[in-house]
Homo-oligomer: A and B are copies of this chain.
Amino acid sequence: MTTQPDEHLRYPIGRFAKPSEYTSELFAQSINTIKTLPARLRAEVIKLTDAQLNTTYRPGGWTLKQVVHHLADSHMNALMRIKLALTEEHPSIKPYDEAGWANQIDYSLPVESSLKILEGIHQHMVALYESFDEAQWNRSFLHPERGVVYTIALSAAMYAWHSNHHLAHITETMKQWDK
């Protein structure tokens, strides 16, 4: 893995690190992060003008508005992958072209629609996570393009990171403006 010249802009909270072990503290922390993301995101984006929402978080990167809509699309996929893993034996999930999706016209909608989707979806994710025993945390799916096997436990850690990762794109950009 090569560090990129704009590594700090791309990965403001660092890259995702696979947990070395799964403890109840880690689960509680991931759940808490996922539970609060929609409101923490809303508290930030509500401060932004349209012009600010249409600013990229790094040269050549997505606009802040695209970041919000991407979170909704990505976590919609997350919820589905959890349910696929619960109802099928080690399913192969359907990857999607996140760059292509971000260029569709619905990414120019006001952010409210995606904030609502996130509020709803994260409640479902959390209701599921909070009910899991060890067997359920260990159910898994295959991401066929990455060739990676994800347990639900691993994916929960990853989506918690992913929540804060993209939120940091927004808050780091806002800090630049305040200087």
Contact residues of A with B, CB < 8 Å? 32, 35-36, 38-40, 42-43, 46-47, 72-73, 76-77, 79-80, 83-84, 86-88, 91, 93-94, 96-97, 100-101, 104-106, 108-110, 112-117, 119-121, 123-124, 127-128, 131
Contact = CB atoms under 8 A, between A and B. Distances in A.
A50 to B, nearest CB: 12
A76 B78 CA distance: 12
Contact of A43 (B39, B83, B131): B39
Central interface residue in A35, A93, A104, A114, by most chain B CB within 10 Å: A104
B109 A96 contact: no
Between A32, A84, A96, A113, the greatest number of chain B beta carbons within 10 A of the residue's beta carbon is seen for A113
Contacts of A109: 123-124, 127
Contacts of A100: 83, 86-88
A94 B40 CA distance: 32
Contacts of A93: 94
Given A43-B43, A105-B127, A80 B83 contact: no
